[in-house]
Structure 1
């Protein structure tokens, strides 16, 4: 014997309303509201990258590192790993005062993917000019231009996007 179907009475108690469609509508409505605004998130991520490029161009390691999470990891173009925002900031302060002092970066966001609503993978291309040298093993992609690909993993925490991890890879010159 099957159990009787579940029903709710509407406000006037004049007709029966099936529970399943009401619950389905509530679920879909709450799910749509929970996803936030992907277009706004993309704009926020684009802005974060733009602010970081401005900080590079100013040689400001504090501003360049400010959107990293406290426990972030960063892998630079020679494979060195920096753990935590403080170490990331210190390393960038060092390069902004030596090899990359006065350099300029043009950063283009290539792709943003949201594997979850609060997680973003952001792929960028960096074109750096005006550098006085490069780390051992790194060569300009073209004369006077170092091109790199940066991949960030970001998470939205308390309404703010934070960089959890970054990896920078140099684009090798054409043979």
Structure 2
């Protein structure tokens, strides 16, 4: 009678295996996404709006830290060119990838923490987390098309100072 339990466990494991394989190993994808974030961070630090926006899909949308919505890569680039020429001119960002989740094989949800220093001011309602430090949390939804990851949507939220 006890022989049936291991066989039943093995059959259950084999039955579940195909759904487990749907969540393939994403080590290469994670590396590519981390590289995309690193290149984007370097572009921020140079004040290069074209390079910062290049990995957004043409029809992507982006919500900035004050809740403004930008539709499409062109508008995202234009808005970043404006802030790189004004309040974020010369600013420096450090971006940490906090988590990457793959709900489907070619879809990634990427959570990052941005720490921006050397900025020339902040939009109304946005505060430094510490003197001279703006901290935000960015969430990207990305899709891999062919061999390239693209940002479909981005949402940036400022972190409020502790009370």
What's the offset of the Cα at 1:174?
Answer: 1.3
**d(CA) in 2 for partners of 1:171 and 1:96?**
21
From 95, 102, 110, the counterpart of 1:107: 95
Partner in structure 2 of residue 56 of structure 1 = 44
**d(CA) in 1 for partners of 2:24 and 2:131?**
44
Aligned ranges 1:21-100 → 2 under 5 Å: 37-100=25-88
Partner in structure 1 of residue 10 of structure 2 = none
What's the offset of the Cα at 1:36?
Answer: 6.3
From 151, 167, 170, the counterpart of 2:139: 151
Q: Please say if residues 113 and 137 of structure 2, whose CA atoms lie closer than 8 Å, have aligned partners that are also in contact.
A: yes
Q: Secondary structure at the match of 2:150?
A: strand
> So what's the TM-score if we normalise by structure 1?
0.80
**d(CA) in 2 for partners of 1:166 and 1:155?**
12
> So what's the TM-score if we normalise by structure 2?
0.86
Is 2:110 the counterpart of 1:122?
Answer: yes
What's the offset of the Cα at 1:95?
Answer: 0.2
Partner in structure 2 of residue 15 of structure 1 = none
Identify the structure with bigger relative contact order (alpha carbons < 8 Å, sequence gap 6+). 2
What's the offset of the Cα at 1:157?
Answer: 0.6
Is 2:117 the counterpart of 1:163?
Answer: no
Q: Deviations over 1:102-131 (max 9, x none)?
A: 000000000000000100000000000000
Q: Please say if residues 23 and 104 of structure 2, whose CA atoms lie closer than 8 Å, have aligned partners that are also in contact.
A: no
**d(CA) in 1 for partners of 2:23 and 2:56?**
23
**d(CA) in 1 for partners of 2:75 and 2:99?**
27
Q: Secondary structure at the match of 2:40?
A: helix
User: Pairwise CA RMSD of aligned residues?
Assistant: 1.7
Q: Secondary structure at the match of 1:90?
A: helix
Aligned residue pairs total 147
